[in-house]
Structure 1
Amino acid sequence: MKIKTVRFTKSVVDATGVPDDHWPHIAIAGRSNVGKSSLINALLQRKSMARTSSSPGRTRMINFFLVNESFYLVDLPGYGYASVDYKTRLSWGPLVHDYLESSIRLERVIMLLDIRRNLTEADGQLLQWLAANQKPLTLVLTKADKFKASKRANQVRQWQRELESAGIRETPIVFSVPKKLGRDHLLKVMAKSVGA
């Protein structure tokens, strides 16, 4: 799939504001500071379409990007960052949950996991919820450039073992923004999901 056009359409603070047109949705989920904005910018080949920040927890709304006038790429707020105030943390869970539960156009959830970290309780809860609700899922290991190839392969195997022990059989896509690793694979998955 080639990215020809991208248009930011809106940000919403509750699920009632979700676009009600007929375009399918692909949602990007993951904990704070996992690299969602960088991945979105790399996928869309736009340097600042999604705002990046070195401070985790900056995305506090659901952001909708209309791609190729044919589907929405949906940037969900990150979860699990402790320094964000308690009231904001409380509001993120229901916002993401309500969207995932109520979106009739959701074709796939792309869940990002930092290759350098371990599976967190919040990651596990989201994975279990997605599986229980039969949401199509693609797992992506981000920040793969932080390791040399041999160490990266070890990390991927470790992640696969950890995911299998959590009951997840999905093989993750290894992704690196600087090395352009995994982009084509992920775009193929997305294209198949939305019939592009």
Structure 2
Amino acid sequence: MKINQAEIVMSAAREAQFPQAPFPEIALSGRSNVGKSSFINKVLTRKNLARTSQKPGKTQTLNFYLINNRFHFVDVPGYGYAKVSKKEREAWGKLLEHYFQTREQLRGVVQLVDSRHEPTKDDVAMYNWFKHHEIPVIIIGTKADKIPKGKWQKHKKQINETLGVINSDTVILFSAETGLGKDDAWKAMTGLLFSSQPEPKTDNE
């Protein structure tokens, strides 16, 4: 996909700040420091649109990026970061749960995991939560350039088996350094963004 326009339009700390535009959305979820910002910058061909940091847990809001004036990327707070206070984690959890369960514009989630290692318990719990709520997921295995090419399929299989990935979901190995998996990621994301529109969600679902 050719990116003509990409900008952050809102950093939301509460529901009232969510953009009201009807654009379809893809949320990006992952463990802190897994490479969400690098993924965003690479697929959007922007160097510093999403700020990368060596300090995990920096994203403390839902950051809405408007792309080509057609859809949103929504970067959500990373999970599994122990140094964030219990009170902060609970507040994020309530906000995220509300977003994922009620946001009508949401078409699916990109869940990023570190392809070099077996997915963590937090990764598994998050994937299972998305599946419980019937949210489509694209799994992106980051930092694949750190793995020898001959072992890519082994690591991809490990992600599939550990998460228990269902057939309708996709696992893609990705590198923000080399661009590996970028085209496949766009194909999967546009498939969710511009496929038939889902039924509106209700608070009871």
What TM-score do you get using the length of structure 1 for normalisation? 0.93
What SS is found at the alignment partner of 2:78? coil
Per-residue deviation, residues 150-188 of structure 1 (Å, max 9, x unmatched): 133321222222223xx6443410000111001111111
The answer as to 2:55 corresponding to 1:55 is yes
Q: Secondary structure at the match of 1:172?
A: strand
Q: Structure 1's 117 and 16: CA in aligned 2 closer, same or farther, altered over 3 A?
A: farther
For 1:112-151, list aligned pairs within 5 A: 112-151=112-151
- The letter of the residue matching 2:123 is D
Cross-structure match for 2:101: 101
Secondary structure (helix, strand or coil) at the match of 1:38 reads helix
1:29 corresponds in structure 2 to 29
Shift of 1:120: 2.3
Deviation track 1:77-113 (CA, whole Å, cap 9, x = no partner) reads 1011112233222222222211111200001111111
- Kept after mapping to 1: 8 A contact 2:118/2:158: no
What code does the residue aligned with 1:175 have?
F
Residue 66 of structure 1 aligns with which residue?
66
Q: Please tell me whether the aligned partners of residues 123 and 163 of structure 2 are also in contact (alpha carbons under 8 angstroms).
A: no
Aligned residue identity for 2:126: L
Render the CA deviation track for 1:43-89: whole Å, top value 9, x for unaligned.
11111111100111100000001000000011011011112233222
Q: 1:17-52 deviations in whole A, cap 9, x for unaligned? A: 211111111110111011000000101111111110
Equivalent AA in structure 2 for residue 31 of structure 1: R
More moved, 129-138 vs 83-92: 83-92
Count of matched residue pairs: 194
Moved more, 148-157 or 137-146: 148-157
Paired position in structure 1 for 2:184 = 185
- Distance between the aligned counterparts of 2:166 and 2:41, measured in 1? 28
Structure 2: which 5+ residue stretches go unaligned? 196-205
Deviation at 1:16, TM superposition (A): 2.7
Does residue 85 of the first structure (1) align with residue 85 of the second (2)? yes
Name the residue aligned to 1:76. Answer: 76
* CA distance in 2 between partners of 1:59 and 1:35 (Å): 12
Bigger shift: 143-152 or 47-56? 143-152
Quote the Cα distance in structure 2 between the aligned partners of 1:162 and 1:125.
11
Query: Within 5 A, what are the aligned runs for 1:152-167?
Result: 152-164=152-164
Unaligned runs of 5+ in 1: none
**Range that drifts further, 3-12 or 149-158:** 149-158
Asked if 2 retains the 8 angstrom alpha-carbon contact of 1:79 and 1:93, the reply is no
Runs of 4+ in 1 over 4 A off after TM superposition: none
- Name the % identity: 39
Q: 1 CA distance for matches of 2:59 and 2:26? A: 17
Residue identity opposite 1:93 in structure 2: G
Q: Offset at 1:117?
A: 2.5
